[in-house]
Every structure is written in structure tokens, then in C-alpha cells.
Structure 1
Amino acid sequence: MWEFKIVKLKLCGLIGAVVCLFIMSCSENTSHKTLLFAHSLPITHPVHKGILSMQEILNEKSGGKLQIKIFPDGQLGSEREMLELLQIGSVAMTKVSAASMSSFAPEYKVLGIPYLFRDSKHMFGVLEGEVGKKILEGGSEYLLRGLCFYDAGARSFYTLDGFIKTPEDLKGKKIRVMNDQMAVNMVNDLGGSATPMAYGELYTALQQRVVDGAENNVPSFVTSNHYEICKFYTVDEHTMTPDVVVVGTKFWDTLNEEEKEWLQAAADESVAKQKVFWSETVKENMEVLKKANVKIYNPDKSPFIAKTKPIMEALLKDPTMKKIIDQINDY
């Protein structure tokens, strides 16, 4: 009971602090509006660099009338907590995984299906077309309007002991996953033991062998320093789940049409730059892994694809999901 009260007090304190920041940002200079943009990644991450480019573009387009103040590195909470802050209007914007958005807007679930996209070209062809636009706009019903998708690469397994050459190699292994049911189902279907855990707790959990491994993209594997502990990276690329730049509709609705155009245009233009940052970072990170004696293995993906098919088949039973999946497969 006391633990619950403490957590509640901490949350109330966080919200109160954010509200104060928001009020200060609006009142300190009536000639411009400041958008509080919170996210969980470190400042060295290519997604943060994409957000910096959006900040710069928006400042130029608006002549300084619309500005972004960034709070990186989970300063204002987890991805779920930040989305909740957007919904109540305490924070204007955030960047989260599409997997986190799926807990609020069901259409995003489709983007977490294993082996849904053939490659990154296929993925961005879909995301930057009508399908992607509908998914982004669909979140507005839940007070979370998507502005654009950022490249988050492909997620693969990394482990403490040995490669995951086939799904059989996952048997008996506890693998950390995001707190997302589809990620849990995927690891379990492959034969592993899915272990949802906060990202910030993972380094210690790997050190203490609470889990045997995890799954993520190369930049996150490196910036988290998990490569210092896990020396086996299997490039199975089971999911290409993009990141999403989201604005709370409570803030969005306070903007006039010109301001909305500036913000959307800044988001759109930052996408191309973020893709370059991502590509460059992956190349640099692969060199880091090589120097750190991390072993890389490229498996035959067909056994992984076969084992995870039930996830897509389950979603195909939902008419709304089936329509989106069919559009993606036909692209």
C-alpha cells in the first residue's frame, strides 16, 4: 500500500514539474511558442540527431515563432509515461517506438509483425504512402497525432552465450523484450522465454544473468553499451518496427493553421536527414562491434519466418488489421 502511494506521489510530482515547465515556456516570451519534446534515447543516438534537425528546421520555417525544447534520455519518464503526458497536455511531443503506440492506437500493432517488410525500401514505401498516413492520423482518436516515422532499423537477437543460429537455439533462454504483447508472442513462438523489462534495467540484468540476451537494432545495442557484455549478435532482423514522432492533440489544437503547417513540414523534412544519420551510425557502430570482438552471424531466416507466422495469421482475423496487412503485402 505504501509502495503504491510513493509511486503515485512520484508520478504526481513529475506531472507537476512538467506543467510548471510548460507554463514557464509559454509565459517567458509571448513572441514565440515552445514545444516540450521528451524522449528516452541518449543524445548520441541517430534518432536524437533527427529530432535536432527537426528543431532547427522548425525554427527556420517559423522565424523563431515556434521552437522545440528537447528533454532526452528519459528525463521525463518511460515511453508510456511520455505518451500519457501528451494525452493530458503537459508535454507537446515525443518519440516512441510504434510498439509503444500500439498500446494506445491499435493500428500500430501491424507494424510489429515479424518479417512484415521485405526490406527498408519496402517499409518506407509503405510508411510514406497512404497506409502510413492513415496509421499516423488514426492515433488522433486517442489524443496522439503521429507526424512522421523515423528509421529504427531492424531488431535482431544478441546474447551472452552463443549465436541464435536457428529458433531451437532460443530454447531455455530468457530474452528481454519490450512490454509489448506481440514482442512477447514472437519470442515465445520461437521457443524462447520472453521477459518484459524496462530498457534502463537491462544492462544490470545482463551483467547479473537475470536474462540471457535481448533484441534490438545495432545503434541501440551500441549506445546502451550492451555490447560490452553480450559478444554474440545474430542478424535475424525479425522486426523492422519504426519510431514515431507524436504530438499530443491537446497541444496540436492550440496551433493555428500556419503553425501546424510549419510543424508538419519540419517533421517531414527531418525524416530524410534522420535516415542519413541512421545509415552513418550503423556503419560506425559495426566498426565499434568489430573492435570490441563482438561476433556477428547472419542466419537463414526461413525457419524464423515459419515459426512466427501465427502472429500475422491471428491479426488477419480482424477485418481492420487484414485490410492494412493486405495493402502492405500488395505494395
Structure 2
Amino acid sequence: MKQLYLYLLSRFAYRYKRYALYAPLLAILLVANSCQKISDTTEVKLAHTLETTHPVHKAMVYMAERVKEKSGGKMTIDIYPSSQLGSERESIELLQIGSIGMTKVSAAVMESFSPNFKVLSLPYVFRDKAHYYDVLDGGIGDDLLKEGEKYWLRGLCFYDAGSRSFYSTKKPIDTPADLRGMTIRVQASNTAFSMIKSFGGAASPVSWGELYTALQQGVVDGAENNPPSFFLSRHYEVSKYYSLNEHTMIPDILLISTVVWDSLTPQEQQWLQEAAEESAQVQRELWEEAEVEALQAIKDAGVTVSTPDKAPFAKLVEPMYESFKNEPEVYSLIQRIRQTGNTKETIVSATKP
């Protein structure tokens, strides 16, 4: 009941900001809930939508353990998994007003709040996993993590979310032509909508929690995600075709509310930042293992896994890059990403299997 009350209170505060008279009181109540001082201990609440078996959840558990170790028990992180406190979008909104302290979201969802993040959702913008890590671990990644501060969202680190590929209830999606007449579930991302349109399909932003039923009932014909998410969600039970075209490599982002971050002492901020960065390295190892296990598990469950030629997909989305010329900041980020590492390869040639 307390969580429900605080959630409703925060939603009221966010949607009815004109009631400025109540803003100070709401801020006090919300920050007290998301970052509490219990005697000499600082407690931060972290909410996310993933199952407890997911590599990202395990990495966040590791982070919480490291924070407790580093602080000698003076700082703790309480984790609320499996959408207990809302969807990714709702969690971001609650972060913006400090109702919860931390969350994990996809960069695709972040683009609705901090527009420059859309660059990470562009199909085939990364040549391979090495290029992906070079970008996230370098200056571009740092700039994007700081970018969210303008919107009360501070990025602590990126988590690897692998490559997203298509799965379907009807047939393999081995060429763009296979998408014609099909409705594909995507995240609430304009970039994802544009990508599906470029491939000739129709996009639908069904929520993650409702997707199994939507696939089962034919509301959508397919979806796209990485192997561990496809497996852990049990979508393989109703989608028997998985095509590894690997159109995007969209990272997850560990966020903290700037309201909460600014309430921490410099020492607490250091403990948290260090633990987050350590957890990101652990998560990459966990993710690599999870991908191998998930692919084998879905094959064992009777899913047909194919590896289509990526070049036809990549060619169709090239115009998306030029469409951002009217958004100078995003277009500049695209050029910086493409120039990172080996600049001689083109997007098409670099994405051939």
C-alpha cells in the first residue's frame, strides 16, 4: 500500500507541476522515500523490469554487494526487480522527480527523454562488438551518460544488451521482404519505428509484459530482441522462428536520479560510481555466457534459428543516417561513432557475416 501511495503521489506531482505550492513538500517526501537515512546508513532504492535470472539483474546484485563492502555497511542498495514499481518508462518518470533512486532502462526508451540517445538505436551503426565497446567505453559513451543530467537522469554505466534480432510466430525473417505484411513489436522508440518501416513491415509498441499474449493471440506477428531476453521471457514457446540478422546493438543504461545523486556525499557518490563500473565488467562476462546458453536452450526447445545475410537489411536503413542532418547533435554523434576504430569499412561490408 505504501508503494502504491507513493507511486500515485509521484505521478500526480509529475503530471500536475502547476501546483507549485506543494512542490517543496512533495520533493521532501519523494527523496526521503528513494534515498533514506536509517541511523548512519544510506539506503537507495533501485527498480527495474527484468527477471532475477537475467544477467543485468545479477550484475546489479553484485553492485549492491560492492557498495555495501566499500562503505562498510554505511550504504546499501535495495533492488525491486520484475516491474514491481512499474515499466521502464514509468521508472524513468519516477527517477526524474526522485520517487525512486535508480533504475535500468534501454537506450531506446531513453531517447524519448534525452533525444541524443537515439543514435544508439540506429540499425547497424556498430560494426561489431569490439566497435560497440570502443564507443561505449570512450568519450562518446561518457558524453551520453552526462547528457541525461539535463533531464534529471544521471548515467552511471552501460550494460551490454547484445544484438537484437527478429523472431516470429509465422516464418523465418531472413530477408527484408519477409517482413512485408507483418506487424512487429518494437520498443517505444521512433528510431525503431523507422527501422521497421524501412524494412517494409509495420511496427507496434506493445509493452514487454503484454508481449507473450500478443504473440500468442496474433496481435503481432513477431518481435525483436536478444537471445537471453527471448529465452527468459519464454517467447520461444509461441515464436518458433529466430533469425539472427542482428540489426541493432542497443545497450542498457544504469541511471540514478540527479535529485538523489545530489543528496549523496562525495564519498557515497564515489562508492556508487566505482561499484557501478565494476558491475558493468562483470555483466559483460555474464552476458556472454547467457547468450550461448540461451541460443542452445531455444534450439533444444524446437526453435528454428537462422543466420541471414545482413547486407540487404543494412542497405535499406542507410537513408536513416542522412535523415538526421536536420538534427546537428545527433548527426555529429553518428559521424563520431562511424569514425571510431576502422574508418575504412562501410556499414554494409562491415556487417556481412
TM-score for the superposition, normalised by structure 2: 0.87
**Any idea what SS the aligned residue of 1:316 has?**
helix
Partner of 1:12: 8
Cα shift at 1:316 = 3.5
Task: Report the counterpart of residue 117 of structure 1 in structure 2.
Answer: 126
Matched, 1:191 2:192: no
Deviation string, structure 1 residues 127-159 (Cα, Å, up to 9, x no partner) = 111110010001001000001000000000000
- Counterpart of 2:95 in structure 1 is 86
Contact 1:15 1:90 in 2 (8 A): no
Q: Relative to structure 1, is the Cα distance of residues 52 and 239 closer, same or farther in structure 2, using a 3 angstrom cutoff? A: same
- Range with bigger deviation, 313-322 or 140-149: 313-322
C-alpha displacement at 1:71, in angstroms?
0.4
Tell me the equivalent position of 1:48: 57
Q: What residue in structure 1 maps to residue 210 of structure 2?
A: 201
User: In structure 2, do the counterparts of structure 1 residues 25 and 251 end up closer, same or farther at CA, with 3 Å as the change threshold?
Assistant: closer
What SS does the corresponding residue of 1:44 show, helix, strand or coil?
Answer: coil
Runs (5+) with no aligned partner, structure 1: 1-7
Q: Which residue number in structure 1 is paired with residue 251 of structure 2?
A: 242
The residue type paired with residue 42 of structure 2 is K
Q: Could you list the runs of 5+ residues in structure 2 that have no partner in the other structure?
A: 13-28, 341-353
Distance 1:10 1:306 in 2: 48
Give distance in 2, aligned partners of 1:301 and 1:24.
44
Match of 1:163 among 167, 172, 187: 172
Conserved 8 A contact 1:316-1:325: no
Distance in 1 between residues matched to 2:104 and 2:332, nearest whole Å: 26
1:4-43, CA deviations, whole angstroms, 9 ceiling, x for partnerless residues? xxxx999516769xx689549725x221111100001110
Q: Does 1:214 align with 2:223?
A: yes
Partner of 2:275: 266
Cα deviation code 1:141-200 (max 9, x no counterpart): 100000100000000000011111110000000111111111111111100111111111
Choose which of 126, 133, 156 in structure 1 pairs with 2:142.
133
Q: CA deviation at 1:325?
A: 1.2
Aligned partner (choices 41, 56, 62) of residue 32 of structure 1:
41
Q: Aligned partners of 1:71, 1:109: CA distance in 2, in Å?
A: 27
How many residues end up aligned between the 2 structures? 321
- Residues 89-115 of structure 1, C-alpha deviations (whole Å, 9 max, x = no match): 110100000011111111111000000
1:208-262 per-residue CA deviation (whole Å, 9 max, x = no partner) reads: 1111100000011011100011110000000000000000000000011111111
Provide the residue aligned with 1:305 in structure 2. 314
* Counterpart Cα distance in 1 of 2:65 and 2:324: 40
Q: Tell me which amino acid in the other structure corresponds to 2:316.
A: K
- 1:257 is the counterpart of 2:253: no
Alpha-carbon contact 2:175-2:313 (below 8 Å) kept: yes
Distance 2:220 2:257 in 1: 35
1:102 and 2:102 aligned: no
How many angstroms does 1:304 deviate by? Answer: 0.3
Q: Percent identity?
A: 47
- Across the aligned residues of Structure 1 and Structure 2, the Cα RMSD in angstroms comes to 1.9
- The offset of 1:317, in angstroms, is 3.4
Partner in structure 1 of residue 20 of structure 2 = none
TM-score, scaled to structure 1: 0.93
2:178 matches 1:182: no
Alpha-carbon distance in 2 for matches of 1:60, 1:11: 31
Distance 1:269 1:178 in 2: 28
Residues 100, 180 of structure 1: 8 Å contact kept:
yes
1:94 and 1:142 mapped to 2: Cα distance?
Answer: 15
Partner Cα separation in structure 1 for residue 174 and residue 6 of structure 2: 44
Q: Does the 8 A contact of 1:150 with 1:274 survive in 2?
A: yes
The structure 1 segments of at least 4 consecutive aligned residues displaced by more than 3 Å after TM superposition are 8-11, 13-16, 19-25
Cα displacement (A) at 1:62: 1.2
SS across alignment from 2:77: strand
Partner residue, 1:327: 336
